[in-house]
Structure 1
């Protein structure tokens, strides 16, 4: 995959959809969790140099 923004969304059968969310400081080793999709910065990721990062940390 090339560098770019993406959202990891999970939807089984019916809405609501859940997205991977990283809260807190967004430092290395912060926990990721599944939360309802809300288009927040902690739910937007990019691939940069082969590493997945939260978009607002780039």
Structure 2
């Protein structure tokens, strides 16, 4: 979605093209699911039994 927005230039942020809508949707999913590092800490803590956070 970012690549398409960059390719479209100023048109990438208009309602005529859906690039920004898709970009916003993808960003919200990434934020909702959390980062890879946070998932790694949580799963590692569950597997080892050692706390990942202090």
TM-score, scaled relative to structure 1: 0.22
- Name which structure has the greater RCO, CA cutoff 8 Å, separation 6+: 1
Q: Look at both structures and tell me which one has the larger radius of gyration over its CA atoms.
A: 2
TM-score, scaled relative to structure 2: 0.23
